[in-house]
Chains A and B, each alone.
Chain A
Protein backbone atom coordinates (compact mmCIF):
# COMPACT_ATOMS: atom_id res chain seq x y z
CA UNK A 1 0.00 0.00 0.00
CA UNK A 2 2.98 2.27 0.59
CA UNK A 3 3.81 1.92 -3.12
CA UNK A 4 0.34 3.14 -4.04
CA UNK A 5 0.66 6.14 -1.77
CA UNK A 6 4.06 7.01 -3.17
CA UNK A 7 2.81 6.79 -6.75
CA UNK A 8 -0.25 9.03 -6.23
CA UNK A 9 1.35 12.37 -7.22
CA UNK A 10 2.66 10.91 -10.49
CA UNK A 11 -0.64 9.15 -11.20
CA UNK A 12 -2.52 12.36 -10.58
CA UNK A 13 -0.16 14.31 -12.84
CA UNK A 14 -1.15 11.95 -15.63
CA UNK A 15 -4.88 11.45 -14.99
CA UNK A 16 -6.05 14.43 -12.81
CA UNK A 17 -8.35 12.09 -10.88
CA UNK A 18 -7.85 13.76 -7.50
CA UNK A 19 -8.50 17.33 -6.44
CA UNK A 20 -6.68 16.66 -3.16
CA UNK A 21 -4.29 13.91 -2.08
CA UNK A 22 -3.68 12.71 1.50
CA UNK A 23 -0.43 13.85 2.98
CA UNK A 24 1.58 12.29 5.78
CA UNK A 25 1.70 8.64 6.75
CA UNK A 26 -0.30 6.64 9.26
CA UNK A 27 1.56 4.81 11.94
CA UNK A 28 -0.82 1.90 11.55
CA UNK A 29 -1.10 0.00 8.28
CA UNK A 30 -4.71 0.47 7.07
CA UNK A 31 -6.89 -2.50 6.13
CA UNK A 32 -7.58 -0.99 2.71
CA UNK A 33 -7.31 2.27 0.74
CA UNK A 34 -10.25 4.20 -0.62
CA UNK A 35 -11.00 7.53 -2.23
CA UNK A 36 -14.12 9.69 -2.10
CA UNK A 37 -15.81 12.01 -4.55
CA UNK A 38 -15.08 15.58 -3.58
CA UNK A 39 -18.71 16.40 -2.75
CA UNK A 40 -18.39 14.20 0.38
CA UNK A 41 -16.99 16.12 3.32
CA UNK A 42 -13.70 15.04 4.90
CA UNK A 43 -12.33 16.66 7.99
CA UNK A 44 -8.66 16.23 7.12
CA UNK A 45 -8.89 17.27 3.49
CA UNK A 46 -10.14 20.28 1.58
CA UNK A 47 -13.57 19.68 0.02
CA UNK A 48 -14.20 21.75 -3.11
CA UNK A 49 -16.95 19.90 -4.97
CA UNK A 50 -15.27 20.77 -8.28
CA UNK A 51 -16.08 24.46 -7.84
CA UNK A 52 -13.93 27.53 -7.18
CA UNK A 53 -16.60 28.92 -4.87
CA UNK A 54 -15.66 26.25 -2.29
CA UNK A 55 -11.88 26.66 -2.55
CA UNK A 56 -10.34 26.46 0.89
CA UNK A 57 -13.32 24.73 2.53
CA UNK A 58 -12.13 22.46 5.37
CA UNK A 59 -15.23 20.71 6.77
CA UNK A 60 -15.49 20.18 10.51
CA UNK A 61 -16.86 16.66 10.05
CA UNK A 62 -16.67 13.57 7.84
CA UNK A 63 -19.58 12.57 5.64
CA UNK A 64 -21.32 9.48 7.06
CA UNK A 65 -20.06 7.25 4.22
CA UNK A 66 -16.46 8.45 4.67
CA UNK A 67 -16.71 8.02 8.44
CA UNK A 68 -17.98 4.45 8.07
CA UNK A 69 -15.24 3.50 5.59
CA UNK A 70 -12.63 4.82 8.03
CA UNK A 71 -14.22 2.96 10.96
CA UNK A 72 -14.04 -0.22 8.87
CA UNK A 73 -10.28 0.24 8.66
CA UNK A 74 -9.90 2.21 5.46
CA UNK A 75 -7.56 5.06 4.72
CA UNK A 76 -8.86 7.95 2.61
CA UNK A 77 -6.12 8.61 0.07
CA UNK A 78 -7.71 11.42 -1.91
CA UNK A 79 -10.75 13.35 -2.97
CA UNK A 80 -11.91 12.52 -6.48
CA UNK A 81 -12.12 15.20 -9.11
CA UNK A 82 -15.64 15.83 -10.44
CA UNK A 83 -17.89 18.15 -12.43
CA UNK A 84 -18.61 21.25 -10.33
CA UNK A 85 -21.45 20.31 -7.94
CA UNK A 86 -22.03 17.15 -10.01
CA UNK A 87 -23.28 19.14 -13.01
CA UNK A 88 -22.09 17.17 -16.01
CA UNK A 89 -21.65 13.92 -17.88
CA UNK A 90 -17.97 14.18 -18.81
CA UNK A 91 -16.20 15.78 -15.78
CA UNK A 92 -15.26 18.64 -18.10
CA UNK A 93 -17.07 21.05 -15.76
CA UNK A 94 -14.44 20.75 -13.02
CA UNK A 95 -12.59 23.92 -12.07
CA UNK A 96 -9.52 21.89 -11.09
CA UNK A 97 -8.36 20.15 -14.26
CA UNK A 98 -10.26 17.52 -16.21
CA UNK A 99 -9.77 13.85 -15.29
CA UNK A 100 -8.61 11.70 -18.22
CA UNK A 101 -9.83 8.33 -19.40
CA UNK A 102 -7.25 5.69 -18.42
CA UNK A 103 -7.74 3.89 -21.76
CA UNK A 104 -7.10 7.03 -23.85
CA UNK A 105 -5.99 10.36 -22.40
CA UNK A 106 -7.71 12.27 -25.21
CA UNK A 107 -11.07 11.01 -23.99
CA UNK A 108 -13.38 11.68 -21.06
CA UNK A 109 -13.68 9.32 -18.12
CA UNK A 110 -17.35 10.31 -17.81
CA UNK A 111 -19.03 12.19 -15.04
CA UNK A 112 -19.84 13.48 -12.76
CA UNK A 113 -17.98 10.93 -10.54
CA UNK A 114 -15.21 10.90 -13.16
CA UNK A 115 -12.25 10.93 -10.76
CA UNK A 116 -13.83 8.10 -8.74
CA UNK A 117 -14.11 5.87 -11.83
CA UNK A 118 -10.62 6.78 -13.02
CA UNK A 119 -9.12 5.89 -9.61
CA UNK A 120 -11.06 2.60 -9.56
CA UNK A 121 -9.68 1.71 -13.00
CA UNK A 122 -6.07 2.78 -12.44
CA UNK A 123 -5.26 1.83 -8.83
CA UNK A 124 -4.99 -1.85 -7.90
CA UNK A 125 -7.48 -3.17 -5.31
CA UNK A 126 -9.17 0.18 -5.02
CA UNK A 127 -12.69 1.18 -4.11
CA UNK A 128 -14.02 4.70 -4.44
CA UNK A 129 -17.13 6.42 -3.19
CA UNK A 130 -19.18 8.04 -5.94
CA UNK A 131 -22.45 9.95 -5.94
CA UNK A 132 -25.24 9.64 -8.48
CA UNK A 133 -27.99 12.18 -9.03
CA UNK A 134 -28.89 11.37 -12.64
CA UNK A 135 -26.34 8.72 -13.61
CA UNK A 136 -23.07 10.00 -12.22
CA UNK A 137 -21.87 6.59 -11.03
CA UNK A 138 -22.89 4.34 -13.92
CA UNK A 139 -21.77 6.75 -16.67
CA UNK A 140 -18.11 7.00 -15.58
CA UNK A 141 -18.08 3.31 -14.61
CA UNK A 142 -19.08 2.51 -18.18
CA UNK A 143 -16.53 4.86 -19.78
CA UNK A 144 -13.67 3.59 -17.57
CA UNK A 145 -14.56 -0.11 -17.76
CA UNK A 146 -15.24 -0.66 -14.04
CA UNK A 147 -18.16 -1.81 -11.92
CA UNK A 148 -20.35 0.82 -10.30
CA UNK A 149 -23.45 0.64 -8.13
CA UNK A 150 -25.86 3.39 -7.16
CA UNK A 151 -28.12 1.97 -4.42
CA UNK A 152 -31.74 2.79 -3.68
CA UNK A 153 -32.44 6.40 -2.71
CA UNK A 154 -32.14 6.47 1.09
CA UNK A 155 -29.94 3.35 1.44
CA UNK A 156 -26.80 5.33 2.32
CA UNK A 157 -26.97 8.33 4.63
CA UNK A 158 -26.45 11.64 2.83
CA UNK A 159 -25.09 13.29 5.96
CA UNK A 160 -22.05 15.27 4.86
CA UNK A 161 -22.92 15.12 1.17
CA UNK A 162 -22.92 18.51 -0.52
CA UNK A 163 -26.44 18.51 -1.94
CA UNK A 164 -27.19 18.73 -5.65
CA UNK A 165 -30.79 17.40 -5.80
CA UNK A 166 -31.91 16.18 -2.39
CA UNK A 167 -34.64 13.89 -3.71
CA UNK A 168 -32.24 12.29 -6.20
CA UNK A 169 -28.73 12.11 -4.66
CA UNK A 170 -27.42 8.64 -3.85
CA UNK A 171 -23.99 7.62 -2.58
CA UNK A 172 -22.54 4.45 -4.10
CA UNK A 173 -19.35 2.61 -5.01
CA UNK A 174 -17.00 2.04 -7.93
CA UNK A 175 -14.32 -0.64 -8.27
CA UNK A 176 -12.69 -2.86 -10.86
CA UNK A 177 -13.48 -5.77 -8.52
CA UNK A 178 -17.18 -6.73 -8.35
CA UNK A 179 -16.62 -8.40 -4.96
CA UNK A 180 -15.63 -5.01 -3.51
CA UNK A 181 -19.12 -3.65 -4.19
CA UNK A 182 -20.63 -6.51 -2.17
CA UNK A 183 -18.08 -6.05 0.60
CA UNK A 184 -18.43 -2.29 1.02
CA UNK A 185 -22.10 -1.55 0.32
CA UNK A 186 -23.14 -3.05 3.69
CA UNK A 187 -20.39 -0.95 5.31
CA UNK A 188 -21.76 2.39 4.10
CA UNK A 189 -25.48 1.50 4.26
CA UNK A 190 -27.84 1.82 7.19
CA UNK A 191 -30.13 4.11 9.09
CA UNK A 192 -28.66 7.39 10.26
CA UNK A 193 -30.76 9.83 12.30
CA UNK A 194 -28.67 12.65 10.81
CA UNK A 195 -30.35 11.88 7.45
CA UNK A 196 -34.02 11.00 8.10
CA UNK A 197 -34.46 9.83 4.50
CA UNK A 198 -32.21 6.88 5.36
CA UNK A 199 -34.40 5.76 8.26
CA UNK A 200 -37.21 3.99 6.39
CA UNK A 201 -34.97 1.39 4.74
CA UNK A 202 -35.42 -2.37 5.11
CA UNK A 203 -32.25 -4.37 5.89
CA UNK A 204 -29.83 -5.00 3.03
CA UNK A 205 -30.21 -8.66 2.05
CA UNK A 206 -27.14 -9.97 0.25
CA UNK A 207 -28.15 -13.61 0.40
CA UNK A 208 -31.26 -12.91 -1.62
CA UNK A 209 -32.14 -14.37 -4.97
CA UNK A 210 -30.11 -14.00 -8.14
CA UNK A 211 -31.24 -12.18 -11.27
CA UNK A 212 -33.13 -14.85 -13.22
CA UNK A 213 -34.80 -12.71 -15.84
CA UNK A 214 -34.15 -9.30 -17.37
CA UNK A 215 -36.37 -7.02 -19.43
CA UNK A 216 -34.78 -5.05 -22.27
CA UNK A 217 -36.89 -2.01 -23.23
CA UNK A 218 -36.90 -1.49 -27.00
CA UNK A 219 -36.82 2.30 -26.41
CA UNK A 220 -33.32 1.91 -24.95
CA UNK A 221 -31.87 0.49 -28.16
CA UNK A 222 -32.72 3.47 -30.35
CA UNK A 223 -30.15 6.21 -30.80
CA UNK A 224 -27.16 4.24 -29.55
CA UNK A 225 -23.91 3.69 -31.42
CA UNK A 226 -23.23 0.63 -33.56
CA UNK A 227 -20.38 -0.50 -31.28
CA UNK A 228 -22.50 -0.24 -28.14
CA UNK A 229 -25.38 -2.11 -29.76
CA UNK A 230 -23.09 -4.90 -30.92
CA UNK A 231 -21.37 -5.28 -27.52
CA UNK A 232 -24.79 -5.27 -25.86
CA UNK A 233 -26.19 -7.97 -28.19
CA UNK A 234 -23.15 -10.19 -27.50
CA UNK A 235 -23.70 -9.71 -23.77
CA UNK A 236 -27.27 -10.96 -24.13
CA UNK A 237 -25.82 -14.24 -25.43
CA UNK A 238 -23.53 -14.51 -22.41
CA UNK A 239 -26.51 -13.81 -20.15
CA UNK A 240 -28.54 -16.57 -21.78
CA UNK A 241 -25.62 -18.96 -21.33
CA UNK A 242 -25.62 -18.01 -17.64
CA UNK A 243 -29.25 -19.10 -17.50
CA UNK A 244 -30.76 -15.61 -17.42
CA UNK A 245 -33.99 -15.18 -19.33
CA UNK A 246 -33.94 -12.14 -21.64
CA UNK A 247 -37.24 -10.58 -22.77
CA UNK A 248 -37.87 -7.52 -24.94
CA UNK A 249 -40.43 -5.13 -23.49
CA UNK A 250 -41.77 -1.68 -24.22
CA UNK A 251 -41.47 1.16 -21.68
CA UNK A 252 -42.87 4.28 -23.35
CA UNK A 253 -42.56 6.20 -20.06
CA UNK A 254 -38.76 6.27 -20.35
CA UNK A 255 -38.78 9.22 -22.73
CA UNK A 256 -40.50 11.43 -20.16
CA UNK A 257 -37.88 10.72 -17.51
CA UNK A 258 -35.22 13.02 -19.01
CA UNK A 259 -37.16 16.30 -18.97
CA UNK A 260 -38.77 15.45 -15.61
CA UNK A 261 -35.34 14.71 -14.16
CA UNK A 262 -33.70 17.90 -15.42
CA UNK A 263 -36.57 20.00 -14.07
CA UNK A 264 -36.44 18.41 -10.60
CA UNK A 265 -32.64 18.30 -10.44
CA UNK A 266 -32.16 21.93 -11.45
CA UNK A 267 -35.05 23.15 -9.28
CA UNK A 268 -33.52 21.50 -6.24
CA UNK A 269 -29.99 22.57 -7.22
CA UNK A 270 -30.96 26.22 -7.59
CA UNK A 271 -32.23 26.31 -4.02
CA UNK A 272 -29.29 24.30 -2.65
CA UNK A 273 -26.77 26.58 -4.29
CA UNK A 274 -28.40 29.69 -2.81
CA UNK A 275 -26.21 29.14 0.27
CA UNK A 276 -22.96 29.90 -1.59
CA UNK A 277 -22.58 33.63 -1.16
CA UNK A 278 -18.98 34.14 -0.04
CA UNK A 279 -19.70 33.70 3.66
CA UNK A 280 -19.14 30.78 6.04
CA UNK A 281 -17.61 28.26 3.61
CA UNK A 282 -14.97 28.27 0.92
CA UNK A 283 -13.84 31.56 -0.56
CA UNK A 284 -14.72 34.55 1.58
CA UNK A 285 -12.33 37.12 0.19
CA UNK A 286 -14.86 39.61 -1.18
CA UNK A 287 -15.26 43.27 -0.23
CA UNK A 288 -17.49 43.30 2.86
CA UNK A 289 -18.16 47.01 2.49
CA UNK A 290 -20.49 46.24 -0.44
CA UNK A 291 -24.23 45.98 0.25
CA UNK A 292 -25.30 42.35 0.69
CA UNK A 293 -27.12 42.05 -2.66
CA UNK A 294 -24.08 43.33 -4.51
CA UNK A 295 -21.67 41.24 -2.44
CA UNK A 296 -23.59 37.99 -3.00
CA UNK A 297 -24.12 38.69 -6.68
CA UNK A 298 -20.51 39.59 -7.40
CA UNK A 299 -19.24 36.53 -5.56
CA UNK A 300 -21.59 34.07 -7.24
CA UNK A 301 -21.01 35.56 -10.69
CA UNK A 302 -17.25 35.34 -10.28
CA UNK A 303 -16.88 31.83 -8.83
CA UNK A 304 -19.72 29.66 -10.14
CA UNK A 305 -18.79 27.85 -13.36
CA UNK A 306 -20.69 28.10 -16.63
CA UNK A 307 -22.80 24.96 -16.15
CA UNK A 308 -23.64 25.85 -12.54
CA UNK A 309 -24.98 29.22 -13.73
CA UNK A 310 -26.98 27.56 -16.51
CA UNK A 311 -28.61 25.10 -14.08
CA UNK A 312 -29.28 27.76 -11.45
CA UNK A 313 -31.05 29.89 -14.08
CA UNK A 314 -33.05 26.93 -15.36
CA UNK A 315 -34.04 25.74 -11.88
CA UNK A 316 -34.98 29.23 -10.74
CA UNK A 317 -37.17 29.67 -13.83
CA UNK A 318 -39.00 26.33 -13.47
CA UNK A 319 -39.99 27.20 -9.87
CA UNK A 320 -41.16 30.74 -10.59
CA UNK A 321 -44.80 31.73 -10.06
CA UNK A 322 -46.64 31.19 -13.31
CA UNK A 323 -44.33 28.39 -14.51
CA UNK A 324 -44.22 26.16 -11.47
CA UNK A 325 -47.30 24.06 -12.32
CA UNK A 326 -46.21 23.57 -15.89
CA UNK A 327 -42.69 22.42 -14.98
CA UNK A 328 -41.91 21.55 -11.36
CA UNK A 329 -45.32 20.19 -10.31
CA UNK A 330 -45.70 18.37 -13.62
CA UNK A 331 -42.29 16.71 -13.21
CA UNK A 332 -43.26 15.42 -9.76
CA UNK A 333 -46.36 13.75 -11.23
CA UNK A 334 -44.34 12.27 -14.08
CA UNK A 335 -41.87 10.80 -11.58
CA UNK A 336 -44.73 8.77 -10.07
CA UNK A 337 -45.71 7.58 -13.53
CA UNK A 338 -42.14 6.44 -14.27
CA UNK A 339 -41.91 4.64 -10.91
CA UNK A 340 -45.17 2.78 -11.54
CA UNK A 341 -44.06 1.74 -15.02
CA UNK A 342 -40.90 0.21 -13.51
CA UNK A 343 -42.97 -1.56 -10.84
CA UNK A 344 -45.11 -3.09 -13.56
CA UNK A 345 -42.02 -4.51 -15.31
CA UNK A 346 -40.66 -5.84 -11.99
CA UNK A 347 -43.84 -7.94 -11.56
CA UNK A 348 -42.46 -10.27 -14.25
CA UNK A 349 -38.72 -9.56 -14.33
CA UNK A 350 -35.89 -9.12 -11.82
CA UNK A 351 -34.19 -6.22 -13.58
CA UNK A 352 -34.40 -3.80 -16.48
CA UNK A 353 -31.32 -4.16 -18.69
CA UNK A 354 -30.01 -1.48 -21.07
CA UNK A 355 -26.65 -0.28 -22.30
CA UNK A 356 -25.31 2.22 -19.73
CA UNK A 357 -24.34 4.98 -22.16
CA UNK A 358 -25.34 5.42 -25.82
CA UNK A 359 -21.66 5.58 -26.88
CA UNK A 360 -18.16 4.78 -25.61
CA UNK A 361 -16.11 7.58 -23.98
CA UNK A 362 -16.03 10.54 -26.40
CA UNK A 363 -12.98 12.67 -27.22
CA UNK A 364 -12.67 16.03 -25.50
CA UNK A 365 -12.67 17.83 -28.87
CA UNK A 366 -16.09 16.31 -29.66
CA UNK A 367 -17.47 17.11 -26.20
CA UNK A 368 -16.55 20.78 -26.64
CA UNK A 369 -18.82 20.95 -29.71
CA UNK A 370 -21.89 19.57 -27.92
CA UNK A 371 -24.84 21.86 -27.09
CA UNK A 372 -26.30 21.57 -23.57
CA UNK A 373 -29.28 19.59 -24.91
CA UNK A 374 -26.97 17.14 -26.72
CA UNK A 375 -24.91 16.71 -23.60
CA UNK A 376 -27.98 16.20 -21.35
CA UNK A 377 -29.39 13.69 -23.86
CA UNK A 378 -26.36 11.45 -23.38
CA UNK A 379 -27.88 10.55 -19.99
CA UNK A 380 -31.11 9.13 -21.42
CA UNK A 381 -30.34 5.57 -20.30
CA UNK A 382 -29.11 6.37 -16.77
CA UNK A 383 -31.64 9.06 -15.83
CA UNK A 384 -34.86 6.97 -15.59
CA UNK A 385 -33.58 4.69 -12.80
CA UNK A 386 -32.22 7.72 -10.95
CA UNK A 387 -35.50 9.60 -11.22
CA UNK A 388 -37.27 6.53 -9.84
CA UNK A 389 -34.72 6.12 -7.02
CA UNK A 390 -34.18 2.44 -7.85
CA UNK A 391 -30.79 0.73 -7.43
CA UNK A 392 -28.74 0.29 -10.59
CA UNK A 393 -25.45 -1.34 -11.49
CA UNK A 394 -23.12 -0.84 -14.44
CA UNK A 395 -20.83 -3.69 -15.48
CA UNK A 396 -18.23 -3.68 -18.28
CA UNK A 397 -19.65 -5.69 -21.20
CA UNK A 398 -17.43 -5.07 -24.21
CA UNK A 399 -14.82 -2.94 -26.01
CA UNK A 400 -15.12 -0.97 -29.23
CA UNK A 401 -12.62 -1.12 -32.10
CA UNK A 402 -10.45 1.51 -30.40
CA UNK A 403 -10.36 -0.62 -27.25
CA UNK A 404 -12.67 1.73 -25.32
CA UNK A 405 -14.87 0.05 -22.69
CA UNK A 406 -18.63 -0.31 -23.07
CA UNK A 407 -20.98 -0.92 -20.15
CA UNK A 408 -24.45 -2.28 -19.54
CA UNK A 409 -26.79 -1.30 -16.75
CA UNK A 410 -29.19 -3.35 -14.65
CA UNK A 411 -31.85 -1.56 -12.62
CA UNK A 412 -33.78 -3.48 -9.96
CA UNK A 413 -36.74 -2.78 -7.68
CA UNK A 414 -36.42 -0.43 -4.69
CA UNK A 415 -34.15 -1.96 -2.00
CA UNK A 416 -33.18 -4.95 -4.21
CA UNK A 417 -29.41 -4.27 -4.23
CA UNK A 418 -28.75 -7.91 -3.20
CA UNK A 419 -29.53 -9.52 -6.56
CA UNK A 420 -27.54 -6.80 -8.37
CA UNK A 421 -24.45 -7.48 -6.27
CA UNK A 422 -24.80 -11.23 -6.76
CA UNK A 423 -25.09 -10.59 -10.48
CA UNK A 424 -21.96 -8.43 -10.52
CA UNK A 425 -19.90 -11.28 -9.10
CA UNK A 426 -21.43 -13.85 -11.45
CA UNK A 427 -20.75 -11.55 -14.40
CA UNK A 428 -17.19 -11.06 -13.21
CA UNK A 429 -16.53 -14.77 -13.69
CA UNK A 430 -18.26 -14.91 -17.08
CA UNK A 431 -16.76 -11.82 -18.74
CA UNK A 432 -13.09 -10.91 -19.21
CA UNK A 433 -12.57 -7.35 -17.97
CA UNK A 434 -9.53 -5.54 -19.37
CA UNK A 435 -7.44 -3.24 -17.19
CA UNK A 436 -5.88 -0.12 -18.69
CA UNK A 437 -2.11 0.03 -19.04
CA UNK A 438 -0.70 2.26 -16.35
CA UNK A 439 2.88 3.19 -17.28
CA UNK A 440 4.06 3.97 -13.75
Chain B
Protein backbone atom coordinates (compact mmCIF):
# COMPACT_ATOMS: atom_id res chain seq x y z
CA UNK B 1 0.00 0.00 0.00
CA UNK B 2 1.43 3.41 -0.92
CA UNK B 3 2.11 6.14 1.61
CA UNK B 4 -0.49 8.53 0.24
CA UNK B 5 -3.26 5.95 0.74
CA UNK B 6 -2.14 5.18 4.28
CA UNK B 7 -2.02 8.91 5.06
CA UNK B 8 -5.55 9.35 3.72
CA UNK B 9 -6.85 6.39 5.74
CA UNK B 10 -5.10 7.67 8.88
CA UNK B 11 -6.67 11.11 8.48
CA UNK B 12 -10.13 9.53 8.13
CA UNK B 13 -9.50 7.50 11.28
CA UNK B 14 -8.22 10.51 13.26
CA UNK B 15 -4.70 9.13 13.67
CA UNK B 16 -1.51 11.15 13.20
CA UNK B 17 1.35 8.86 12.19
CA UNK B 18 5.05 9.54 12.70
CA UNK B 19 7.34 8.91 9.69
CA UNK B 20 8.44 5.69 11.30
CA UNK B 21 4.86 4.51 11.83
CA UNK B 22 3.89 5.47 8.29
CA UNK B 23 6.76 3.41 6.91
CA UNK B 24 5.91 0.42 9.10
CA UNK B 25 2.13 0.41 8.53
CA UNK B 26 2.63 0.77 4.74
CA UNK B 27 4.68 -2.40 4.76
CA UNK B 28 2.41 -4.29 7.21
CA UNK B 29 -0.87 -3.36 5.49
CA UNK B 30 0.62 -4.27 2.10
CA UNK B 31 1.53 -7.72 3.39
CA UNK B 32 -1.86 -8.19 5.06
CA UNK B 33 -3.77 -7.20 1.91
CA UNK B 34 -1.63 -9.60 -0.13
CA UNK B 35 -2.61 -12.30 2.31
CA UNK B 36 -6.30 -11.41 1.79
CA UNK B 37 -6.01 -12.12 -1.97
CA UNK B 38 -6.94 -15.77 -1.39
CA UNK B 39 -10.52 -14.48 -0.85
CA UNK B 40 -10.79 -13.60 -4.56
CA UNK B 41 -11.08 -17.30 -5.37
CA UNK B 42 -13.44 -18.18 -2.50
CA UNK B 43 -16.94 -19.54 -3.16
CA UNK B 44 -19.67 -17.35 -1.67
CA UNK B 45 -22.91 -17.93 0.16
CA UNK B 46 -26.11 -16.42 -1.17
CA UNK B 47 -26.57 -13.07 0.51
CA UNK B 48 -24.58 -11.37 3.24
CA UNK B 49 -23.73 -13.00 6.56
CA UNK B 50 -24.13 -9.85 8.63
CA UNK B 51 -24.86 -11.98 11.71
CA UNK B 52 -23.71 -15.58 12.20
CA UNK B 53 -27.09 -16.68 13.63
CA UNK B 54 -30.63 -15.51 13.12
CA UNK B 55 -31.25 -12.40 15.19
CA UNK B 56 -34.64 -11.52 16.62
CA UNK B 57 -35.88 -8.01 15.97
CA UNK B 58 -36.93 -7.15 19.47
CA UNK B 59 -37.89 -3.61 20.27
CA UNK B 60 -38.74 -2.18 23.64
CA UNK B 61 -42.09 -0.42 24.04
CA UNK B 62 -41.66 3.26 23.33
CA UNK B 63 -41.95 4.32 26.94
CA UNK B 64 -39.53 6.82 28.48
CA UNK B 65 -37.47 5.40 31.32
CA UNK B 66 -34.23 5.94 33.19
CA UNK B 67 -32.00 2.87 33.09
CA UNK B 68 -28.85 4.38 34.51
CA UNK B 69 -28.76 7.46 36.69
CA UNK B 70 -27.44 10.19 34.35
CA UNK B 71 -25.66 11.91 37.25
CA UNK B 72 -23.82 8.65 37.90
CA UNK B 73 -22.72 8.63 34.25
CA UNK B 74 -21.62 12.26 34.37
CA UNK B 75 -19.61 11.73 37.54
CA UNK B 76 -16.36 10.84 35.78
CA UNK B 77 -16.78 13.13 32.79
CA UNK B 78 -15.53 16.66 32.36
CA UNK B 79 -18.69 18.71 32.65
CA UNK B 80 -19.98 22.25 32.69
CA UNK B 81 -23.45 22.77 34.22
CA UNK B 82 -24.28 19.11 33.55
CA UNK B 83 -23.17 19.29 29.93
CA UNK B 84 -20.25 17.13 28.77
CA UNK B 85 -17.26 19.29 27.97
CA UNK B 86 -15.39 18.75 24.72
CA UNK B 87 -12.87 20.54 22.54
CA UNK B 88 -13.61 23.65 20.47
CA UNK B 89 -15.93 23.20 17.50
CA UNK B 90 -14.98 26.46 15.78
Chain A interface (Cβ < 8 Å from any Cβ of B): 56-58, 60-61, 152-154, 167-168, 193, 196-197, 199-200, 253, 255-256, 259-260, 262-263, 270, 274, 277, 279-281, 284, 286, 288-298, 300-301, 304, 309-310, 312-314, 316-317, 320, 327, 329-337, 339-340, 371-373, 376, 387-390, 414
Q: Flag whether B68 is at the interface (Cβ < 8 A).
A: yes
B64 contact set on A, CB distance < 8 A: none
Interface residue ranges of B49-77 to A (CB < 8 Å): 49-58, 60, 68-69, 72-73, 75-77
A317 touches B29 (CB 8 A): yes
- On whether A167 and B51 interact (CB within 8 A), knowing A277-B14, A279-B86, the answer reads yes
A313-B13 in contact (CB<8A): yes
A144 to B14 CA separation, bound complex (whole angstroms): 37
Q: Contacting A312 at CB < 8 Å: which of B13, B45, B57, B72?
A: B13
30 A-B interface contacts by CB (under 8 A): A60-B72, A260-B39, A262-B36, A263-B39, A274-B13, A279-B86, A286-B87, A290-B87, A291-B88, A291-B90, A294-B87, A295-B87, A296-B87, A297-B16, A301-B16, A304-B15, A312-B15, A313-B10, A330-B42, A333-B48, A334-B39, A335-B52, A337-B42, A337-B44, A371-B31, A372-B31, A376-B32, A389-B51, A389-B52, A390-B52
Known pairs A314-B29, A373-B31; A296 contacts B14 (CB<8 A): yes
CB of A17, distance to nearest CB on chain B (Å): 26
Shortest CB distance A342–B (Å): 10
Residues of B within 8 A of A327 (CB): 36, 39
Additional 13 contacts, C-beta under 8 A, given A153-B52, A255-B38, A304-B15: A152-B53, A153-B51, A196-B55, A197-B51, A199-B56, A259-B39, A263-B36, A291-B89, A292-B86, A312-B15, A333-B48, A336-B45, A388-B52
Given A57, A196, A313, A331, which contacts B9 in the complex, CB threshold below 8 Å? Answer: A313
The CA of A373 and the CA of B73, in the complex, are separated in Å by: 40
Would you list the 10 A-B pairs with minimal beta carbon distance, nearest first? A336-B45, A389-B52, A335-B49, A295-B87, A333-B44, A200-B56, A332-B48, A256-B42, A336-B49, A259-B36
Contact yes or no, A61 B68, CB < 8 A: yes
Partner of B47, one of A274, A280, A336: A336
Cross-chain contact B13 with A316 (CB below 8 angstroms): yes
Q: How far is the CA of A254 from the CA of B14 in the complex (A)?
A: 35
The A interface is mostly helix, strand or loop, or mixed, namely helix
- Which B residues are CB-close (under 8 A) to A296? 14, 87
Q: Which residue of B lies closest to A58 (CB)?
A: B76
Nearest to A201 among chain B residues (CB) is B53
Chain A residues near B50: list those with CB within 8 A: 167, 332
* Cα(A126)–Cα(B53), bound, Å: 31
Alpha-carbon distance A281/B86, docked complex (angstroms)? 12
Q: Are B87 and A288 in contact (CB under 8 A)?
A: yes
Q: Find out whether the CB atom of A300 lies under 8 angstroms from the CB atom of B14.
A: yes
CB pair A334–B45 under 8 Å, yes or no, is: yes
Select which of B13, B53, B76 is within 8 A of A56 by beta carbon: B76
Residue of A nearest to B18 (CB): A301
The residue on A at minimum CB distance from B10 is: A313
Report how far A147 CA is from B72 CA in the complex, Å: 38
